[in-house]
Amino acid sequence: MNYGYFDDPNREYVITDPHTPTKWINYIGTLQFGGFVDHTGGALICKNDPTFNRITKYIQQMPASDFKGETLYLRIRNRAPEKHRDYSERSDSGGEAGYKVFSPFFVPTLDHYDKYECRVGLNYTRILSEFHGIRTEVTIFVPTNASVEVRDIKITNLSGVPLEVDAIPVLEYTHPDALKQFTNADWIPQTMTSKAVKNGDCMVLIQYPFMNRDTQVNYFTSNLPVASFETDRKKFLGRNEYGTWANPASLQNAELSNTEAMRGDKLAALMHHLGTLQPGETKRLVTQLGQEANLEAAKPSIETYRDPKSVEDALVEIKSFWDKYLSTLQVETPDAAMNAILNIHNPHQCFITRQWSRYLSYYQLGLGARGIGIRDSSQDILGVLANIPDNAKGFLKTLLSFQKQNGSALHAFNPLTLEGSVGDAIEREDRPHYYSDDHLWSILGVTAYIKETGDVAFLEETVPFYEKDKQGSPLQTDSVLEHVKRALAFTRTDIGQHGLPLLGFADWNDTINLATGAESLFSAHLYGRALNEFIALLDYLDRKEAADEWRKAHAEMKARVEEHAWDGEWYVMYFDHDGTPVGSHKNQYGKIHLNGQSWSVLSGFASPERARQAMDSVYQHLDTKYGIKLSTPGYNGFDPRYGGITTYPPGAKENCGIFLHPNPWAMIAETLLGNGDRAYEYYSQINPAGRNDMIDLYESEPYVYPQNILADEHPQFGLARNSWLSGTASWMYQAGTQWILGIRAEYDGLRVDPCIPSKWNGFRATRKYRGVTYLITVNNPKHVCKGVEKVTVNGGQAEGSLIRADKGASLVQVKVTLG
């Protein structure tokens, strides 16, 4: 069973059956203004922050059949001679004198449709449907840099007879403080205010909580005359709200009540009488939902997007952005699912995680303190660096400004208030209030940015540390280089009884919260990886003394890991405060952890023999047909000694589920060890584009990676959840492009050193790097996984697999022969 198909030439996934196992979503706009839109037209929109400035009320937990945030109703007047036509079949639709009311989005009227298509595009969603002889095409998007959601609605009469059609777009507002909306049912409704304002020949509905009247108003408007409007939900649904979203009582009246509600539950509904549509005739309606300081400030935008030509131009602008974005790297491998994901959907997802961190999705509710994660966003940057280096650099500096003077970092921050937080650590008085990994991730970002751009001057740019004086000014500002050094120095000295980094509240795995004094092998390995990246940079800059000092630090930590952490067939993951290993054959649960093995290779700490054995243990104990499990066997019952992990049943999430984010780390480790067959096996088994035909088990969108899949200890083995906002996006993109296809930026050039499945004859790729386009052809005549036998650059023989950055040419032909 599938619910749609990949339309690669149009860079879309097309949903053809709206009964998807969960809502499948797409993103429009950015965090500055935007949100997500689901495949039935519902949308959650916010400006700058979903916690403190949310606009539409979209409640993820309500059933899929429910109205969520926004919809569009159409209605056709029932006429006596046609009363038995199929559009008058509902007994509650008003009968002879009334109207047939339906939504072209399927939800919330759940009517019969002849055709339904939702095209999930790059920052737009287009829903095309045919109901009762009316074809509707709605394109939903946010124009670049605008604070307005545009819905471009085209309605065509396909019925063969003239039809009198009304179009009623509707949205429901939330209080901007999204959590308060759910925790206070008196103050909130007392403040919610609406007004209708005539603006030339169009109607603008204004909405705000009273306190924001003079500073921040939402508006909803359209480009066609409005006969009547509604702002009060109770009146719209009718019958004291015993009217339903599926059949709002007010839509059986000729007109809406024109109520400017001064309190209550707020919506915006605009009644447009489109008149009689002749057979084949199309009418076009454009709606706008925006937020500005006041109506005056909104007017220029309102004027612009009332004009369908501006709407079309704005869509072209979005398309051009994506043409450029995606042209950074395009690949042609023998695997169609890999091509679809690497060329379109994975880079799209990377862009979305860069925007939203783990803040707002169908699963991440955008309420409360979560905000932008330091650890998460530092990793997201690695997935967009080559495409939008300036944006990545700016964001990296923002993240570095949440580093403390002692080198450690805050865990998260709110994008509106720029206030940092220590995350869930705050909930445990008895645990440390920092994470041992947060501050180390940005080092990978800094070094990767310089490799991509060659911009070594970045190291000297200044960024404040987080601590502030009473006036809110930073106590200390220093160079990016100093930030990197402090981060490494923090971990070098923040060590426990085995000389390994203290765990803090947690490391990458948020859910293992051991008592104070526990040590983390993850943070040891991440430190090792970051050190090696930094040492390579210092070598490149010819700073020998500094490089040697940090080499010593790497050797120190490597010696401790090798002395204490080898468990016989794999590495352990933690030492508890009393020195007991966690992730050892001695444990009853969680005997082996994936990250302990893959990262021992990534850090350069594992000897070649142990590295191979550790990764073979992963294959033997943790691999399943739907992905690699995080650990095994699962904890079976709550145990406060470990914390969060034991709140899940075995096989779910961090408790031995298939947590996807670490899967690409295992792929990268396999490529470092030269095993391209296994790296590709791991890659393919979690590629969602390869799941399209078995989606009833998997349930999540086939066009993006989810965060987790239930593993084989769970009865629903194979079920995916928490799609879109996951570090899986960035790391799968890196694993696929930089390590399997082997095309990666280095300080002095582009490396092409693939580690592919031996069955491949080769592949082709186009990569833009420092202003030059490289056309890369890789041939694999001897069917090896890894090993570059020969490279030619524009016909001339090159040395090794490094193609030196070429400033002269704009197009360079690279031919690589493996052997």
Q: Indicate the residue among 453 and 631 with the shorter CB distance to ligand GLC.
A: 631
Contact 33, 142 (CB under 8 A): yes
CB of 724 to ligand GLC, least distance (A): 12
Which structure tokens are listed for 219? Answer: 């508006």
CB of 587 to ligand GLC, least distance (A): 19
The sheet that has 706-709: what strands, in order across it?
658-659, 706-709, 720-723
Pairing of strands 811-818, 772-779: parallel
Contact 129, 26 (CB under 8 A): no
**DSSP alpha helices (H): ranges in 604-727?**
608-621, 663-672, 676-685, 695-698
Which among 371, 373, 359 has a CA at the least distance from the CA of 411? 373
CB of 372 to ligand GLC, least distance (A): 11
Q: Which positions touch ligand GLC (CB under 6 A)?
A: 358, 373, 375-376, 508-511, 654, 707, 726
Q: What are phi and psi of 334, to 5 degrees?
A: -70, 0
CB of 508 to ligand GLC, least distance (A): 4
Which among 703, 730, 699 has a CA at the least distance from the CA of 120? 703
CB of 45 to ligand GLC, least distance (A): 23
Angle (deg, nearest 10), helices 594-602 and 608-621: 150
Which structure tokens are listed for 557? Answer: 């930590």
38, 166, 507, 510: the catalytic one is: 510
**DSSP alpha helices (H): ranges in 251-345?**
295-306, 308-327, 336-340
Which structure tokens are listed for 316? Answer: 């072209």
Q: What is the 3-state secondary structure (H, E, C) of 750-773?
A: EEECCECCCCCCEEEEEEEECCEE
Q: Indicate the residue among 60 and 125 with the shorter CB distance to ligand GLC.
A: 60
Question: DSSP secondary structure string, 46-71?
Answer: ESS-TTTSB-B---TTS-TTS--SEE
Q: Which residue is nearest to ligand GLC (CB)?
A: 510
Question: DSSP secondary structure string, 334-364?
Answer: S-HHHHHIIIIIHHHHHHHHHHHTTSBSSSS
Q: Indicate the residue among 553 and 686 with the shorter CB distance to ligand GLC.
A: 686
CB of 423 to ligand GLC, least distance (A): 9
Contact 667, 755 (CB under 8 A): no
Cα gap 262→190, rounded to integer Å: 8
CB of 708 to ligand GLC, least distance (A): 8
CB of 366 to ligand GLC, least distance (A): 14
Q: Indicate the residue among 68 and 358 with the shorter CB distance to ligand GLC.
A: 358
Question: DSSP secondary structure string, 541-586?
Answer: TT-HHHHHHHHHHHHHHHHHHHHHSB-SSSB--EE-TTS-EESSTT
Give strand ranges (E) for 372-491. Answer: 372-373, 412-413, 420-421, 462-464, 477-479
Does the CA dihedral 673-677-680-681 come out positive or negative? negative
Q: What are phi and psi of 455, to 5 degrees?
A: -80, 75
Whether residue 510 lies in the annotated active site: yes
Q: Indicate the residue among 231 and 408 with the shorter CB distance to ligand GLC.
A: 408
Q: Indicate the residue among 117 and 437 with the shorter CB distance to ligand GLC.
A: 437
Q: Indicate the residue among 233 and 525 with the shorter CB distance to ligand GLC.
A: 525
Contact 292, 135 (CB under 8 A): no
Q: Backbone dihedral region of 508: left (phi > 0), alpha (psi from -120 to 50 degrees) or beta?
A: alpha
Q: Backbone dihedral region of 499: left (phi > 0), alpha (psi from -120 to 50 degrees) or beta?
A: left
Q: Indicate the residue among 100 and 358 with the shorter CB distance to ligand GLC.
A: 358
Helix (H) or strand (E) holding 165: strand 163-172
Cα gap 517→509, rounded to integer Å: 17
Cα gap 736→734, rounded to integer Å: 6
Cα gap 497→480, rounded to integer Å: 31
CB of 435 to ligand GLC, least distance (A): 9
Cα gap 195→205, rounded to integer Å: 6
CB of 735 to ligand GLC, least distance (A): 17
CB of 374 to ligand GLC, least distance (A): 9
Q: Indicate the residue among 24 and 665 with the shorter CB distance to ligand GLC.
A: 665
Cα gap 787→309, rounded to integer Å: 54
CB of 662 to ligand GLC, least distance (A): 8
Q: CA angle 23-27-31, nearest 5°? A: 130
Q: Indicate the residue among 221 and 730 with the shorter CB distance to ligand GLC.
A: 730
Angle (deg, nearest 10), helices 308-327 and 346-356: 110
Q: Indicate the residue among 480 and 658 with the shorter CB distance to ligand GLC.
A: 658
Q: Indicate the residue among 223 and 414 with the shorter CB distance to ligand GLC.
A: 414
Q: Indicate the residue among 55 and 518 with the shorter CB distance to ligand GLC.
A: 518
**DSSP alpha helices (H): ranges in 212-306?**
233-237, 295-306
CB of 562 to ligand GLC, least distance (A): 26
**DSSP alpha helices (H): ranges in 622-735?**
663-672, 676-685, 695-698, 728-734
Catalytic machinery residues: 510
